[in-house]
Amino acid sequence: MKILANDGISKSGIDQLENAGFNVETKHVNQSDLVNHINENKIEVILVRSATEIRNDIIDHCPSIKIIGRGGVGMDNINVEYAKEKGLLVINTPAASSQSVAELVMAHLFSISRSVFESNRNMPENGENDFKVLKKKYAKGIELRGKTLGIIGFGRIGQNTAKYALGAGMNILAYDPFMEKASIEMDIAGQKMEVTIDTTSMEELLSNSDFISLHVPMPKDGNAIIGNNEFEKMKDGVRIVNAARGGVIDEKALINALHSNKVSFAALDVFVGEPKPSKELLNNEKISLTPHIGAATLEAQDRIGEELAEKIINFYKK
């Protein structure tokens, strides 16, 4: 039985699959060549991340495929419902990357509260001659402790982000249309405690948050969750992080909000048009940038690979 991990898989995942008798191929195949490659090699399982799309052409023209797997949470690059209608198993790893994404969000929160990202751009080039100028420029940071973090989408990643933010002394406002409250278990120095957070309305979150972090899938209608209307309801000087999906924030509206100082700083790990983000975003001095690495820790990759392997093995055991 052959598996194509077209966007890669951890060695621990490969070992688990090979020990169970599967043949795992990890060489990336271009999107335009996928149908032919799958059919020529009789691939039964295709595993992807965000780089490869599994659309109707592959589902319709690759009869050997039994399982489509997504390493990560969001599956907007897979025609999930259509695949299920055709009798295919579609799997993902919703829990495996929650902690790693939450930690990246916290890294961005610290970065945009103290202008670490911009300082790191300017110090190598100007630090020797303009040290005092840069010191004065970046001496106007703010602390996270005591500030309110609004979390839009309060699933696994949102709740993990809340754990870290609570540990940093932040207050939490959470919006999620699918839940009224969530109990978060904190483990502090070996002592466990439970914090219950009641979700609130989007309007209250937008108007009362000092920082906002998004943890939502891309809406099916393709419309941004945060646009001009939402920015208008926010506090002046709010700071916002998106490590969810490119497009859940209207990028043009974000740039306008940055120009008007409605948003003082932003942090983006995801972009519309990946892998070619807008140059206007990339060149904006008020944006902390990472190239879609939310789940890209060694630990998360191991968890993702092992969870995919376990689900595949269990399917063939039936």
Residue partners of 250: CB distance under 8 A and separation at least 6? 224, 226, 227, 228
Q: Is the pLDDT of residue 120 over 90?
A: yes
C-alpha 304/C-alpha 74 separation (Å) is 13
pLDDT at 221 (0 to 100) = 86
pLDDT at 157 (0 to 100) = 95
Q: Are 277 and 251 in contact (CB under 8 A)?
A: no
Identify residue 31 by its one-letter amino acid code. Answer: Q
pLDDT at 204 (0 to 100) = 98
Q: Is the pLDDT of residue 175 over 80?
A: yes
Q: What is the pLDDT of residues 44-94, one digit of tens each?
A: 999 999 889 999 999 999 999 999 999 988 888 999 999 999 999 999 998
pLDDT band at 189 (very low <50, low <70, confident <90, very high): confident
pLDDT band at 190 (very low <50, low <70, confident <90, very high): confident
Would you state the structure tokens that stand for residue 99, as one six-digit string?
């902690």
Q: Is the pLDDT of residue 187 over 90?
A: no
**How high does pLDDT run on average in the chain?**
96
Look at residues 200, 264, 257, 270 and name the one whose alpha carbon lies nearest to residue 230: 257
C-alpha 77/C-alpha 217 separation (Å) is 11
Q: What is the pLDDT of residues 192-240, one digit of tens each?
A: 889 999 999 999 999 999 999 999 988 888 899 999 999 999 999 999 9
Look at residues 199, 116, 231, 104 and name the one whose alpha carbon lies nearest to residue 160: 104
C-alpha 305/C-alpha 5 separation (Å) is 10
Work out the average pLDDT over 151-174: 97
pLDDT band at 172 (very low <50, low <70, confident <90, very high): very high
Catalytic annotation, residues:
245, 274, 292
Would you state the structure tokens that stand for residue 252, as one six-digit string?
């043009």
In order of their start, the domains of the chain are 2-96+298-317 (3.40.50.720), 98-289 (3.40.50.720)
